[in-house]
Amino acid sequence: MPSRTGVPRLTRQPGRLVAFSDAVFAIAVTLLVLEIQPPRDFGHLLRGLGALWPSYLAYALSFLLVWQVWVNHHVMFDRVRHVDRQVLFLNTLLLMVIAFLPFSTSLLADALRAEQGLRTAVVVYGTTLWAAAALFNVIWARLRRARLLDPGLGPLGVRAIGRRFALALAWIGSGVLVGAFLPIAGVVIIAAFLPAYYLPIRGEDGEDGESAHRPG
């Protein structure tokens, strides 16, 4: 693609970015389970395993949320023709946030177990997820402005995927705000975004209403 100066612009295919990102997602979900430490008292092993329920809960929630982020990441980059330096940088920030999630998950589990500091733990946990959602919106905006998206997506599809990312930002943000006062309620709101992800948004498949009904 030529630049404004007439010199061909360097284009980078998104394949390497996606492959590296997949590796970071895989490491992040692996670290999640490593945060669950087995009980030391094997004389009361069953009771000790049961006492780890906060770790199980935090692990399951975080694993499913990371999976959701991974799916969204592919939904986004499946529509990308090529990436520029700014997209590479923004994606690196996103991966940095994802890599931080095992720590915030462990913090949430420990606070649930100790029944202390839960408000702070929920805010830290939710803010980590909110930061990831915010970066999705920033990356999508950059892809749109720089015209790096597949032109076959169409304006309706672009707006539909953007609405999905904006919904995540607002939903998780509300969970953080509520969690600052009612921590359990905040966790419930954040967790409720998992089934809400499957709510259909018209146009997300990239077809507008006219083309969908146009005879072939």
Instruction: Convert the pLDDT of each residue in 62-114 to its tens digit.
Output: 999 999 999 999 989 999 999 999 999 999 999 999 999 999 999 999 999 99
Predicted confidence band of residue 13 (pLDDT cuts 50, 70, 90): confident
Predicted confidence band of residue 154 (pLDDT cuts 50, 70, 90): confident
- What is the pTM (predicted TM-score) of this model? 0.87
Amino acid at 26: A
Q: What CA–CA distance (Å, rounded) separates 55 from 112?
A: 9
- Residue 8 forms part of a structural domain: no
Q: Calculate what percentage of the chain has a pLDDT beyond 70.
A: 87
- Residue 4 forms part of a structural domain: no
- Residue 104 forms part of a structural domain: yes
| CA gyration radius, the chain | 20
H/E element, 182: none
- Residue 29 forms part of a structural domain: yes
- Residue 147 forms part of a structural domain: yes
Burial class (CB in 10 A: 0-12, 13-18, 19+), 187: buried
Helices H, strands E: what count in the chain?
8, 0
Predicted confidence band of residue 200 (pLDDT cuts 50, 70, 90): low
* pLDDT, position 204: 67
Q: Calculate what percentage of the chain has a pLDDT beyond 90.
A: 72
Alpha carbon separation from 109 to 7, 76, 121, 128, 129 (Å, rounded): 54, 31, 9, 15, 16
Q: What CA–CA distance (Å, rounded) separates 62 from 33?
A: 10
* pLDDT, position 151: 86
Burial class (CB in 10 A: 0-12, 13-18, 19+), 192: exposed
- Residue 175 forms part of a structural domain: yes
DSSP assignment, residue 178?
H
The count of residues in the chain is 216
Q: What CA–CA distance (Å, rounded) separates 55 from 57?
A: 5
Predicted confidence band of residue 203 (pLDDT cuts 50, 70, 90): low
* pLDDT, position 107: 96
At residue 38, does pLDDT exceed 80? yes
The total number of structural domains that make up the chain:
1
- Residue 45 forms part of a structural domain: yes
Work out whether the CA dihedral 126, 128, 131, 136 comes out positive or negative: negative
Per-residue pLDDT averaged across 54-66, rounded? Answer: 95
> What residue numbers bound the domain in which 49 lies?
15-213
**Between 204 and 94, whose confidence is greater?**
94
- Residue 10 forms part of a structural domain: no
Residue 175 contacts residue 187 (beta carbons within 8 Å): yes
Predicted confidence band of residue 1 (pLDDT cuts 50, 70, 90): very low
At residue 216, does pLDDT exceed 80? no
Q: What CA–CA distance (Å, rounded) separates 27 from 62?
A: 13
Q: What CA–CA distance (Å, rounded) separates 121 from 110?
A: 9
Strand, helix or coil for residue 52:
coil
